Amino acid sequence: MDTVIVLLNRDLRVHDHPALAAACVEARRVVPLFVLDPSVPAGRRSGFLAESLADLRRSLRERGGDLVVRRGDPVAETVRLAREIAGCGAGDGSAGVVEAVHVSADVSALARRRERRLAEECERHRMGFRAFPGVTVVPPGAVTPSGGGDHYRVFTPYWRAWRAHPRREVLPAPARVTLPEGLDPGVPPPGHPHRPHELFRGGETVARRRMRQWLKYCVADYAAGHDDLAGNRTSKFSPYLRFGCLSPLELASLAEDGDDFVRQLCWRDFFYQVTMAFPAINRADYRPRGLTWNDDAEALQAWKEGRTGLPIVDAGMRQLLEEGWMHNRARLLTSWFLVKRLRVDWRTGADHFFDLLLDGDVANNYGNWQWVAGTGNDTRSDRTVNPVRQARRFDPDGEYVRRYVPELRNVPPKTLHEPWRLPSAVRGYPPPLVSPV
């Protein structure tokens, strides 16, 4: 095969990249392509994306290739690039011929529409099209219920089937990537104005270094520590998985001794297979319950700003604003408070999270919000959470709250966990919007 274009999206790495690896084996020349689509703005994730693309470009150049960056509609730009390559000299006077386009298969409605359009355009222009695994550990749809159905609706039986399913081999990074001569690689996006928080610098190089250190020193303690709000002991791999700077399969393979951590990777896969079957997960109730919602703009704004009067909720929301990330336990408490206590539509909260989170993706963000709201994969729609009790358990000394709500830094833990007493103790801190339970 002469030339293959590898259209990148959420797979910004060179290690364990099936679409890239196959192209490097099958073709003389390989063109890794990323298209900045103005119809899908990166928003707060733009700085992380820019750093990840710059790192990927360095990795490809170390292997003799480059990252080609274009702007526009990904399908149109892929076809345009194929024509451009046909006009490039191949070093021996001949023109390059793009014979195929490779992608990593994704599950959102947007991604699937893009893949269908790309497959149609490839057929029209007599190019092959192949979609490869790589975004999940187990490909969505690879395991289905034995009793029938196209996907698992409940996690525990999926976990059992997921663990038993054979996995593909983890692939090494290609030794060499050869780009057609004379091809303009284009200019990657600038990192500003949304440079990521120092805790989350983008790119595969940073991600792999963190992976090695965390698996060596922290994974054994994951079960005991991942709910500790102040301890900050979660892996923080989620932004790197969201942009594909890390392979979820490689991570699961290396963390086999950390069963509780691998279970979290399975939860990620679970929501991907749900989204594959129900692509409207970000818009429609997965399990309609006939719920009615409050239209309370002031309460919603107070929640977004971390001014609800409930310290543990306010700390989580301010962490989100400051870091573009939120502790997993805080995500549960803040989302539960919005939908169960303020009775605000889960879509409103999920959209806010999606806009601000570095790891915001359709499957996990909206799947988890629906789970909390009782419209998703949790069969107990009336499940309750007591934020005060949770704060006492997972932030007993109030360290997490004081870290993100500095006006409470001199308040003793007992008072922090009795929010109805705070307005009289701290000038300017608001009274609770509603009773916390």
Q: What is the mean pLDDT of residues 309-318?
A: 96
Q: Which helix (H) or strand (E) holds 36?
A: strand 29-36
Whole-Å CA distances, 295 to 32, 110, 343: 46, 28, 9
**Dihedral through CA 227, CA 229, CA 233, CA 235, nearest 10?**
80
Q: What is the pLDDT at residue 255?
A: 93
| Contact indicator for 405, 311 with CB cutoff of 8 Å | yes
32-36, 190-194, 372-376, 400-404: range with lowest mean pLDDT: 190-194
Q: What is the pLDDT at residue 91?
A: 47
Q: What is the mean pLDDT of residues 212-220?
A: 92
Cα–Cα distance measured from residue 393 to residue 387, given in angstroms and rounded to the nearest whole number: 10
Nearest to 243 by CA among 358, 320, 72: 358
277: alpha, beta or left, given left = phi > 0 and alpha = psi -120 to 50? alpha
Q: Please name the residue ranges forming H helices in 69-168.
A: 74-86, 109-124, 155-164
Q: What is the mean pLDDT of residues 52-61?
A: 97
Provide the token pair at 300: 């919603």
Q: What is the pLDDT at residue 127?
A: 97
Cα–Cα distance measured from residue 340 to residue 276, given in angstroms and rounded to the nearest whole number: 27
pLDDT above 90: residue 423? no
Structural Rg of the chain based on CA atoms: 23
Q: What is the pLDDT at residue 191?
A: 63
Cis ω for the linkage preceding 387 (within 30 of 0)? no
39 alpha carbon, distance to own chain's centre: 19
Strands 29-36 and 3-8: parallel
pLDDT above 80: residue 104? yes
Cα–Cα distance measured from residue 136 to residue 76, given in angstroms and rounded to the nearest whole number: 27
Q: What is the pLDDT at residue 93?
A: 46
Q: What is the mean pLDDT of residues 201-215?
A: 96
Q: What is the mean pLDDT of residues 139-156?
A: 94
pLDDT above 60: residue 294? yes
Output the pTM of the full model.
Answer: 0.95
- The chain-wide mean pLDDT, for the chain, equals 93
Residue 264's CB is within 10 A of a number of other CB atoms, namely 18
Q: What tens digit of pLDDT does each residue of 58-95 get? A: 999 999 999 999 999 999 999 999 999 988 754 454 45
SS3 84: helix
DSSP summary character for residue 327: -
Cα–Cα distance measured from residue 398 to residue 162, given in angstroms and rounded to the nearest whole number: 38
Q: What tens digit of pLDDT does each residue of 245-278 get? A: 999 999 999 997 789 999 999 999 999 999 999 9
CB contact burial 119-150 (16+ within 10 A = b; e otherwise): bebbeeeebebbbbbbbbbbbbebbeeeeeee
Q: How confident is the model at residue 419 (pLDDT cuts 50, 70, 90)?
A: confident
pLDDT above 60: residue 281? yes
Q: How confident is the model at residue 427 (pLDDT cuts 50, 70, 90)?
A: confident
